[in-house]
């Protein structure tokens, strides 16, 4: 089978982790008789430097015409003083909206080999951590009306959090469908005791739940959810939540697994076309030093094979290869612990390549 993939290496360590990921996909294609055609385009800080804009029209056109988008990382302190609409991170929001990617899927899985990297006590970890955060991606406060005005106490700023019934319904269906393939439990996180938008969220989620009688649903306020993630993460299966709450909770979930450098994400639309990226940032402090962990980006490519291309066996082959490398005690610096073998970005990629199809 043939697939066209738009590649946005981005800023900082993005190009390094993307390079290793492309090599992994090329080997998967060779073993399983697929052809992946990669088209590299600019977005973020590097696009500002090269073309004076965060998301060139060419980039958007290529992404729309491709079967999926693979992204490294965007942003960095170099561009921090730019106005909000011109900052590199704005390219992500624009891409998600333009491609209709309303569902962000972020698995937070702790590998047994990385238990020592988890900041939680062993008795809290228990048998392990396996959480999937399903975050609404194109609505809420990030996309609501915003502005500034003069008020009684000087200048005021506002950001409006707004959701429609349709937006909540479609993300809820995504969460319930994913839960059916896991442990059939959904925890919907909101702030319905305070926010009107959360009250609508909760009522729509409960309506959708009636179509999934085999899936258990419970509700949790976001402040309690943040506490419960560190108190008893094993209670969660699928966490369904809004754009802003999901942004925060998914990062918290990632850190309790041991390293943000290990976790992938998928942003999906109606037709399973998606954008795939690691949840870590551009890490400019280690860019170009062969220190970055490429595993999260490589796992994002595995999610691409599974969700956009329906290639389960190929995705599993990548995940198994990564697990074997970790079992053999190889680590990049962010997940390094005593008696492990320290490797760089390129060596980690090479080790994973050797395990695929091996």
The Cα–Cα gap between 159 and 137 comes to: 16
Sequence-distant (≥ 6) Cβ neighbours of residue 36 within 8 angstroms: 2, 3, 5, 25, 26, 29
Enumerate residues 6+ apart whose C-beta is below 8 A from 171.
102, 103, 134, 135, 136, 137, 240
The gap from C-alpha 312 to its chain's centroid, in whole angstroms, comes to 19
Q: CA-CA distance, 327 to 179, in Å (whole number)?
A: 28
Among 27, 191, 237, 330, the one annotated catalytic? 191
H or E segment and range at residue 244: helix 243-256
Out of 247, 307, 330, 334, pick the active-site residue: 247
Residue linked to tokens 């590199």: 88
* Catalytic residue check, 247: yes
Residue 310 is a catalytic residue: no
Nearest to 105 by CA among 67, 129, 137, 70: 137
| Active-site position among 67, 130, 251, 290 | 251
- Catalytic residue among 102, 111, 142, 330, which? 142
Q: Could you confirm whether 285 is annotated as catalytic? A: no
**Could you tell me how many helices (H) and strands (E) the chain has, helices first?**
12, 14
Whole-number Å distance between alpha carbons of 317 and 350: 15
Residues 6+ apart with CB under 8 A from 332: 261, 291, 292, 293, 294, 295, 342, 343, 344, 345, 348
Contacts of 319 (CB under 8 A, 6+ apart): 299, 302
Neighbouring C-beta atoms of residue 32, cutoff 10 Å? 15
What are the residue numbers of the active site? 142, 191, 223, 247, 251
């Amino acid at each position: 089978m043939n697939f066209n993939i738009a590649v946005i290496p981005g800023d900082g360590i993005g190009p390094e982790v993307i390079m290793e990921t492309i090599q992994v996909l090329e080997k998967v294609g060779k073993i399983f008789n697929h052809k992946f055609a990669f088209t590299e385009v600019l977005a973020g800080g590097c696009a500002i430097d090269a073309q004076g804009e965060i998301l060139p029209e060419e980039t958007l056109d290529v992404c729309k015409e491709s079967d999926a988008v693979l992204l490294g990382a965007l942003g960095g302190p170099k561009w921090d003083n730019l106005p909000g609409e011109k900052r590199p991170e704005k390219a992500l929001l624009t891409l998600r909206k333009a491609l209709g990617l309303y569902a962000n899927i972020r698995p937070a899985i702790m590998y047994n080999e990385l238990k020592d990297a988890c900041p939680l006590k062993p008795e809290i970890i228990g048998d392990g951590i396996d959480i999937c955060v399903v975050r609404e991606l194109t609505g809420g406060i990030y996309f609501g009306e915003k502005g500034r005005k003069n008020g009684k106490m000087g200048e005021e700023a506002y950001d409006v959090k707004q959701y429609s019934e349709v937006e909540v319904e479609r993300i809820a269906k995504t969460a319930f469908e994913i839960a059916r393939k896991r442990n059939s439990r959904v925890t919907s996180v909101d702030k319905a005791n305070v926010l009107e938008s959360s009250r609508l969220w909760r009522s729509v989620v409960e309506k959708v739940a009636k179509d999934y009688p085999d899936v258990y649903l419970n509700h949790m306020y976001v402040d309690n959810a943040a506490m419960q993630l560190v108190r008893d993460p094993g209670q969660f299966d699928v966490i369904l939540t809004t754009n802003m709450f999901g942004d925060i909770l998914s990062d918290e979930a990632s850190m309790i697994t041991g390293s943000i450098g290990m976790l992938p994400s998928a942003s999906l639309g109606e037709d399973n076309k998606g954008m795939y990226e690691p949840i870590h940032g551009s890490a400019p402090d280690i860019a170009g030093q062969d220190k970055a962990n490429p595993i999260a980006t490589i796992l994002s490519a595995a999610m691409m094979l599974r969700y956009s291309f329906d290639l389960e066996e190929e995705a599993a082959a990548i995940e198994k290869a990564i697990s074997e490398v970790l079992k053999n005690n190889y680590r990049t610096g962010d997940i390094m612990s005593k008696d492990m073998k320290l490797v760089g970005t390129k060596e980690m990629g090479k080790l994973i390549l050797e395990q695929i199809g091996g």
